[in-house]
Structure 1
Amino acid sequence: MIDTAIARICRAIDLLIAAALAVMVVLVFGNVVLRYAFNSGIAVSEEVSRWLFVWLCFLGAVVAMKDGAHLGTDMLVSRLPVAGKKACLVMGHLLMLYMTWLFLSGSWQQATLNMDVAAPVTGAPMSIFYASGVVFSLCAGVLLLLQLVRVLTGNVGEGDLVMVKESEEQAELEALQAELARSDASKSGAPAARSDTPSRHRT
């Protein structure tokens, strides 16, 4: 039930991100057309677009955290035994929770300090800008706590013990190397070597 609720919330966040992108395109493109064609412009275009971009980044980070889509390297962690992977995962989550708390504390202070500070163009409170950090920290903290509880209770499979994913370029390179190995093996008549096992030469 919790997973279903989180999935629905992330779906709603995706829709908000799409709406923010659409508004940004209309504001920026419309402002360019108005300036060049009619010597006019949308006064709030730059300020609103900047705020939407910040909110878009933080909301996207929440969805990426839920899907485990942040890029990184698993060169060391992937070679550890299951106990080592769990220890690294727990330690990583504890560190991220601490950093999330620091980020929440700073964002909350900035939001409260700027409640009465008006933006120069729209006149909206500047606390809206810093509230993006508060929303991200709360959402990320909940996700990290749920993931940590699952790890500690043993409800995480071995394939989910690595938090990061290799970059798309690295995955494409490995797939290309595997394809070349299969092609060379088919030409020579020898069985193809596994792409994840380094070749060894006997002396």
Structure 2
Amino acid sequence: MWLIMLGATIAVRDGTHFDVDVLPEPKTVHGKAVARLIVHVSMLLVALIFIAFGWRFAAFGYEQSSEMTGINMLSIHIAWPLAGICWLLFLAEKILDDMKLYADGRRGSR
């Protein structure tokens, strides 16, 4: 699970996660900023879900040990909330960039 969560974190940071084009590509800078904000805020909500529920999942793992290896399952389950925290940090940076792009697009349209 660590590799999957690490890969997802890198994809969030680099913006290389797959995406689906549901709406047409915005033509203006302002429109692109709004579209990116919607996507990044939606991803932020998922990150918050991973943090909240992942924390409970990790606490559940703390109470268990692997029968085969004897290691505490927290070492595996903690990947979920840590991934959510990393996504939160990277998305905060992306949302700030989107807001700057939005402000620049507003100034450019006047």
Range class of TM-score, shorter chain: 0.7 to 0.9
User: What residue in structure 2 maps to residue 148 of structure 1?
Assistant: 95
After superposition, the C-alpha distances for 1:43-73 in whole angstroms (9 at most, x for unaligned) are xxxxxxxxxxx11011011111111111223
Decide which of 92, 98, 101 is 2:45's aligned counterpart: 98
Aligned length: 104
Q: CA deviation at 1:77?
A: 4.5
Q: In 2, Cα distance between the equivalents of 1:94 and 1:73?
A: 16
Q: In 1, Cα distance between the equivalents of 2:42 and 2:22?
A: 20
Whether the 8 Å CA contact 2:51–2:80 is kept in 1: the answer is yes
Q: In 2, Cα distance between the equivalents of 1:112 and 1:106?
A: 10
Q: CA deviation at 1:136?
A: 0.7
CA-based RMSD of the aligned residues comes to 2.2
Whether the 8 Å CA contact 2:26–2:35 is kept in 1: the answer is no
1:117 aligns with 2:78: no
1:60-99 matches, within 5 Å, as: 60-74=7-21, 76-99=23-46
Query: Taking structure 1 as the reference length, what is the TM-score of the superposition?
Result: 0.47
Rg (Cα) greater in structure: 1
Q: Secondary structure at the match of 1:153?
A: helix
Query: Taking structure 2 as the reference length, what is the TM-score of the superposition?
Result: 0.82
Whether the 8 Å CA contact 2:37–2:95 is kept in 1: the answer is yes
Whether the 8 Å CA contact 2:51–2:81 is kept in 1: the answer is yes
Q: CA deviation at 1:115?
A: 1.0
User: What residue in structure 2 maps to residue 4 of structure 1?
Assistant: none
Which of structures 1 and 2 has the larger relative contact order (alpha carbons within 8 angstroms, sep 6+)? Answer: 2
The alpha-carbon distance between structure 1 residues 75 and 105, as it changes in their structure 2 partners (threshold 3 A), is closer
**Structure 2 unaligned blocks of 5 or more:** 106-110
**Structure 1 unaligned blocks of 5 or more:** 1-53, 159-203
